Amino acid sequence: MPRTTPEIKIRAVAELGAEIVLHGDGYDAAYEHALAITRERHMVFVHPFDDVDVIAGQGTVGLEIVRQTAGELDAVFVPIGGGGLIAGIAVYIKQLYPRVKIIGVEPEDSAAMHDSLQAGKRVTLDRVGLFADGVAVRRVGEETFALARRFVDEVVLVSTDEICAAIQDIFEDTRSISEPAGALAVAGIKHICGRRGWRDQRVIAVNSGANLNFDRLRYVAERADIGAEREALLASR
């Protein structure tokens, strides 16, 4: 894992009995180090997203959505990091209900899938933001990109302030706290519905994580009102 991984996530993995190695400041550095360990110890590497079996496993989230809605929905919003989750969900749902829109959501400062789809090829970002550390990936997977080109309708970008506002919305509605990456889909729904005037649409947000260190709530609370457009931040010089 990167050294920037929230402590709550590190402890949760340790409780499962895993050996934890912290390396680098982001996913990509940790990924390269994991490959080096694999070679040194002659181990099998299981990719976190760019693997057809992993993608199929993540696609079971789409199965759950269909079982719970009978396909009577208009759009599913899914957070994107490396692309495995949205690839699996999109493939499953589009096979059964092609009319349902699959919309990915990325932070503005970690837009690897958005930029790759725009370019028509995988691109590597120079840097990524670390606020939504769960999706801070500089380059999406080869398999996930190919599937996203076929089955994902669009990818929207949201700001850090919009993510903070979504964390607050989730807390007020469910009394649960999502991590920034986990709240991306709700931020995407608010972004799309507000700007496009969607009404009477049945939409679903996949909330994908709750690994948020308690001390970060202070920052989230400060930015949430700005993201919800209840406050503005002005600066002068």
Query: Could you report the per-residue pLDDT of 144-188, keeping only the tens digit for each?
Result: 999 999 999 999 999 999 999 999 999 999 999 999 999 999 999
Look up the CATH number of domain 52-227.
3.40.50.1100
What is the pLDDT confidence band of residue 33, given thresholds at 50, 70 and 90?
very high
Residue 60 makes CB contacts below 8 A (sequence gap 6+) with 88, 92
Each residue of 97-126: pLDDT tens digit? 999 999 999 999 999 999 999 999 999 999
Secondary structure of the chain: what % helix, strand, coil (to 5)? 50, 10, 40
Each residue of 209-234: pLDDT tens digit? 888 888 888 888 887 867 666 666 66
Looking at the chain, which residues constitute the CATH 3.40.50.1100 domain(s)?
52-227
Q: What residue has token string 């680098």?
A: 24
Buried b (16+ CB within 10 A) or exposed e, 204-236: bbbbbbebbeeebbeebeebbbbbbeeeeeeee
Each residue of 20-29: pLDDT tens digit? 999 998 898 9
The angle at the Cα of 80, spanning 157 to 195, to the nearest 5 degrees, equals 30
Residue 62 makes CB contacts below 8 A (sequence gap 6+) with 76, 88, 89, 90, 91, 92, 93
Average pLDDT of the chain, as a whole number: 92
